A and B are shown apart, each in its own frame.
Chain A
Amino acid sequence: MEDKELSHEESLRLIRGMMEVARNKISETGFHFLLWGILVIAACLVNYVLLLQGLRENAHWVWPVMTAIGIPTAMIYEYRKDRRQHSRSKFDRIYGAVWLGFGITLFLAIYISVSWEVNPIPYILVLAALATFISGIIYRFRPLVLGACVFWLAAAVCVQLPGKEQLLVNAGAIALGYLIPGLLLWRNSKKETHV
């Protein structure tokens, strides 16, 4: 590209082209979807097995353990990513805000549910659905929108099931709603890196 003067048509074409480059830039690598997807599925399954074996008192400990593994890992990854990131779009800022808001709301929703002795899984699923849906719309990435639909459906199904079985529905929903879009984003980001 040079320092040449442009005709009106050329100007408009150039503006559209460059704005498209900025708009289509997805800096989400899928890492967080894969990390939290694997952790939540593992926690659900361990919790389910512990309940099956009658260890009800100890079963809920898997969740704080999962959080204690997930949060530092996610923070280290973000710190390292921030150091090598070349640009940040306005969408990235909104995207970050959505997931920060999700994290805070999720924490409070779990706290409220536990205090009221209500199963938090349907609430977790609808919250995850909202954040995943907004992310899919921001980045125009359909697998995330479909993932959100899976979460909404799973939340409705969970209400009809006993607590123990809700864990299996949650694990299945997370596999479809987080792991598949996460893998696709991860693959796309690797492709982009090698261009």
Chain B
Amino acid sequence: MFKKLDPLLNSELRLAVMSLLIGMEEAEFGFIREKTAATAGNLSVQLQKLKDAGYLEIKKSFRGKYPLTTCKVTADGIRAFQEYVDAVQSYLEISKKNHEK
């Protein structure tokens, strides 16, 4: 029986953001944008969706005169990411076994 994939994570940009942040303490908006090569507008929308789901914590502050957005994965985000990876792996293992038969 396949586990249903989390639709929130099964999107290229949101999954890229979560995969990037999972190995980090925190990262700034500019860094995430550079590494994902996303547009600022699209990235803002996707980060907000992840925040609304409780997967990300977004902190807004200032560095000097300029606004600064910092993102961090929450415990719920780590759990959801782990479940997503497990589901993808189990799907690939089952399809590999079916292919070998």
A residues touching B (Cβ–Cβ < 8 Å)? 1-6, 8-12, 14-15, 17-19, 21-23, 25, 83, 86-90, 92-93
Contact = CB atoms under 8 A, between A and B. Distances in A.
B88 A8 contact: yes
Given A15-B85, A18-B35, A21-B35, A4 B23 contact: no
Contacts of B14: 3
B98 to A, nearest CB: 13
B12 A3 contact: yes
Nearest to A25: B24
A2 B24 contact: no
Nearest to B21: A22
B11 A89 contact: no
Contacts of A12: 85, 88-89, 92
Contacts of B30: 86
Nearest to B46: A3
B50 to A, nearest CB: 12
Contact of A23 (B10, B15, B23): B23
A8 B91 contact: yes
19 contacts: A2-B12, A2-B13, A2-B38, A3-B46, A5-B10, A6-B10, A6-B15, A8-B92, A10-B12, A14-B16, A15-B19, A19-B19, A22-B20, A22-B22, A87-B26, A87-B27, A88-B25, A88-B26, A89-B24
